[in-house]
Amino acid sequence: MKGTMLYGARDVRYEDRPDPIIVDPTDAIIKLSATCVCGSDLWPYRGIDPTVEPRAMGHEYVGIVEEVGKDVKHIQKGQFVVGSFFASDNTCEICRSGYQTACVQRQPGAPTGAQAQYARIALADGTLVPTPALPDADLVPSLLSASDVFGTGWFAADAAAVGPGKTVAVVGDGGVGLCGVLAAKQMGAERIIVMSRHPERQKLALEFGATDIVSERGDEGVAKIKELTRGLGAHSTIEAVGTQESMMQAIQSTRAGGHVGFVGVLHDVTIQGLPFFFSHVHLHGGPAPVRRYLPQMMELILNGKINPGKVFDLTLPLSEVAEGYRAMDERRAIKTLLQP
Ligand SMILES: [Zn+2]
């Protein structure tokens, strides 16, 4: 098969790869219907996370089951499935509490790389959720988004305790931040303030349910959020970047007793004890347990209630994956969908 490898900073190659095979009896092999480039793929792409040896890329996937191992009981050949970026058994105590991304058997979701024609999925019964029937092609982008970007935005909103009547601030206008807006709207948020400087992203944020746009950043951005909330700050803040500046912006934009849901992969973030102590802000986040929310998200998508697949503003054949990375790195695209 063909698949995507990262050899080093900005060195993405689409090349011949071994066909994935069943390794453990709980594995499945899927034929990818669609895949995409993640904002978190940009950390190694930019060399911020060093690449010591070439690695298979891609962890967001939807596809048709080609083959299952002998211990797979529920997932069947021919089903259209959506899975998460971590494989989980969905039966251990941590999974049952809703934290499948911390499953005691946690493994990479697609260890052979999902930016490929085929992928091996571990713990298939726990990881994969099938659709009742083969979905229409126009629903595939939204189902793919549930695999990570929308699932992560949903968890961020949930972790930020978004609910009816709440005012939500969103730090980060990438795919996850925008999906967080859509999730917050679904959860009944009254007001959704998005921090963004990009006209195209502002437009999609408004379409997804944002009520206010703040283009200021840092302390000025915080001041603007305070101004919009009678000096109090937001009840719920979604942090979808992962840098020192964005995390501080999120904490400081949140009112006493409020919640920050942080899902940007934190890189070298230090939180000063004293101001945090006096902030009275709840922090909750980490790798989103997408599997917890998949059934609910997929139902909303299959019923045509929401269309999170709109975050894909660039669609390329998988063979042009390198351009997909470049477009996101240069912020020419919010998110690139790849067609195998
Ligand atoms: Zn588990």
Please report how the helices 290-302 and 149-159 are oriented relative to each other, as an axis angle in degrees rounded to 10: 110
Ligand 1 center to 59 CA (angstroms):
19
Query: Tokens standing for 221?
Result: 């951005």
Considering its fold, how many domains does the chain have in total?
2
Specify the pLDDT at position 64: 98
| All residues at 6 or more sequence positions from 305 whose CB lies less than 8 Å from its CB, including other chains | none
Ligand 1 center to 330 CA (angstroms):
37
Q: Answer yes or no: do 34 and 73 share one domain.
A: yes
Q: Answer yes or no: do 335 and 249 share one domain.
A: no
Q: Which residues share a beta bridge with 81?
A: 63, 130
Ligand 1 center to 104 CA (angstroms):
5
Ligand 1 center to 83 CA (angstroms):
14
Q: Answer yes or no: do 210 and 298 share one domain.
A: no
Q: Is 19 helix (H, G, I), strand (E, B) or coil?
A: coil
The domain in which residue 199 lies consists of 152-285
Ligand 1 center to 17 CA (angstroms):
30
Ligand 1 center to 102 CA (angstroms):
7
Q: Which residues share a beta bridge with 168?
A: 192, 236
Ligand 1 center to 106 CA (angstroms):
7
**Among candidate residues 212, 202, 209, the one with its CA nearest the CA of residue 184:** 209
Q: Answer yes or no: do 165 and 274 share one domain.
A: yes
Specify the pLDDT at position 49: 87
Ligand 1 center to 90 CA (angstroms):
5
Specify the pLDDT at position 58: 97
Which residues have CB atoms below 5 A from the ion given as ligand 1? 88-89, 92, 95, 103
Ligand 1 center to 108 CA (angstroms):
13
Q: Answer yes or no: do 8 and 135 share one domain.
A: yes
Counting beta carbons within 10 angstroms of the beta carbon of residue 227, is it exposed (0 to 12), middle (13 to 18) or buried (19 or more)? exposed
Q: Mean pLDDT, consecutive 10-residue segments, the chain of 340 residues?
A: 97 97 98 95 92 95 98 98 96 98 95 97 98 97 98 98 98 96 98 96 97 95 97 98 94 98 92 94 97 98 97 97 97 95
Single residue among 240, 262, 285 that ends a domain in this structure: 285
Ligand 1 center to 306 CA (angstroms):
29
Ligand 1 center to 98 CA (angstroms):
9
Ligand 1 center to 302 CA (angstroms):
27
Q: Answer yes or no: do 196 and 261 share one domain.
A: yes
Q: How far is the CA of 320 from the CAs of 47, 195, 253, 310, 338, in angstroms?
A: 20, 31, 40, 20, 8
Q: Answer yes or no: do 160 and 124 share one domain.
A: no
Q: Answer yes or no: do 207 and 237 share one domain.
A: yes
Single residue among 243, 264, 285 that ends a domain in this structure: 285
Rounded Cα gap, residues 322 and 11, in angstroms: 8
**Among candidate residues 144, 143, 107, the one with its CA nearest the CA of residue 123:** 107
Ligand 1 center to 320 CA (angstroms):
36
Q: At 214, which CATH number?
A: 3.40.50.720
Q: Answer yes or no: do 108 and 192 share one domain.
A: no
Q: Answer yes or no: do 104 and 233 share one domain.
A: no
Q: At 116, which CATH number?
A: 3.90.180.10
Q: Answer yes or no: do 97 and 30 share one domain.
A: yes
Q: Answer yes or no: do 268 and 304 share one domain.
A: no
